[in-house]
Amino acid sequence: MSAPHTPPSAPPTHPDASAPPGPAAIAVRDLVKRYGPVTAVDGVSFTVPRGAVVGLLGGNGAGKTTTISLILGLLLPTSGGIEVLGHDMLSDRFAALPRMNFSSPYVDLPHRLTVRENLTVYAHLYGLRDIPGRIARLAEDLDFAHLLKRPTGRLSAGQKTRVALAKALINDPEVLMLDEPTASLDPDTGDRIRGHLEAYRARTGAAIFLASHNMAEVERLCDDVLIMRRGRVHDRGSPAELKTRYRRPDLEQVFLDIARATGGAIDESSADQEDAHPHPPARPEDAR
C-alpha cells in the first residue's frame, strides 16, 4: 500500500503551547553519515521545535541511533549541519551540551558506583546546586529511592533504565534525547515513566526527541513522528495524520504497511536491495 508522503523538510506542527521562544530545539540539515561504502544516514533534514515531542521510528538499522548520536556529537557527520538550541554542534557543541541530555540502553553508568554516587557525579559535571535534594526528587518521581545505595551494576534492566532516565533528567534539559526510554520496563512502570515525561514536558517546555520500537508509546507521547528507512526519512506526520494517511487504526499497522510496501522490511535487512543501497548499520560498529 502506498500513501502520499509529507515532504521530509516540513517542520513538525505540534509544539507545546508553553514552549519558550527562540531557535528550534534541534535543526538538522542534509545530514549524511557514511562508513566507507556504507551510508548509515542519507541526507536527513528535519526540525524539532521547542516544546515538541518528536518520535523517531524505524526498524533495526534504519539509522535512528546513528541520527541521535550525530545530534549529540558522539559521531561526526560526513556532511550536513546540526544545530541544537541555535548552537552549531560541530563548532560550538559545549554551548549546547549543558542544556541537553540523553539516555540510551547502549551506554551504561559505572557499575561499581551506587545509584546515588553516579547521579552525584553527573550533577557535578552539569554544575548543579542542591544535589541531594535534586536526586531525592528524581528518585521519588521515578520510584527508585530504595535503590539509591545499591551499586548500579546490581540493578535489574528495568531499574537501570529508570536510573539512566534520572541521569538524563538531572540537569532539567531543554532538549532531551531518549533512545528506547522504556525498554525493559514492565507495563506499569513504563506507563509511569511515560506519564513522567509528559509532565516534564508540560512543566519545562522541553523538547523531547525519542527513538522507540514501542508504537503505543510513540502514539501517546509524540506530536510528530519521523519514520526512517535505510538512513532516510521515509515519512513523517503526527500520529493522527499518519493513521489517516494510511487508513489504519494505530501506528503499528502504519509501520507494518510501510514495511510491507517497501519490500517486507522497514529496516536494512532486505537482501534484494543490498547492492543498490548498502545497509545502514543498527549501530556504528555494524558498519566496520
Residues forming contacts to other proteins in the complex (CB under 8 A) are 35, 65-66, 69, 72-76, 94, 97-98, 100-102, 104, 106-114, 117, 120-122, 124-127, 129, 131, 151, 167, 283-285, 287-288
C-alpha span between 120 and 128 (Å, rounded) = 9
Q: How far is the CB of 62 from other proteins (least distance, A)?
A: 16
Q: Which is nearer to other proteins, 6 or 152 (CB)?
A: 152
Q: How far is the CB of 22 from other proteins (least distance, A)?
A: 20
For residue 285, the tally of other CB atoms under 10 A from its CB is 8
Residue 224's closest CA among 211, 239, 202? Answer: 239
Residue 235's closest CA among 58, 108, 23? Answer: 58
Q: Which is nearer to other proteins, 10 or 121 (CB)?
A: 121
Name the one residue in this structure whose C-alpha cell is 513522528: 225
Name the one residue in this structure whose C-alpha cell is 539512566: 164
C-alpha span between 91 and 18 (Å, rounded) = 30
- The contacts found for 235-239 with CB under 8 angstroms, 24 or more apart, are 235/3, 235/5, 235/6, 236/5, 236/6, 236/8, 236/10, 236/12, 236/46, 237/6, 238/12, 238/13, 238/14
Q: How far is the CB of 171 from other proteins (least distance, A)?
A: 9
Q: Which is nearer to other proteins, 49 or 280 (CB)?
A: 280
Q: How far is the CB of 1 from other proteins (least distance, A)?
A: 35
Q: How far is the CB of 86 from other proteins (least distance, A)?
A: 17
Q: Which is nearer to other proteins, 127 or 187 (CB)?
A: 127
- Is residue 5 packed enough to be buried (19+ CB in 10 Å), middle (13-18) or exposed (0-12)? middle
Q: How far is the CB of 177 from other proteins (least distance, A)?
A: 8
Q: How far is the CB of 209 from other proteins (least distance, A)?
A: 13
Q: Which is nearer to other proteins, 68 or 266 (CB)?
A: 68
Q: Specify whether the CB–CB gap between 52 and 26 falls below 8 A.
A: no
Q: Which is nearer to other proteins, 12 or 281 (CB)?
A: 281
C-alpha span between 185 and 208 (Å, rounded) = 19
Q: Which is nearer to other proteins, 74 or 148 (CB)?
A: 74
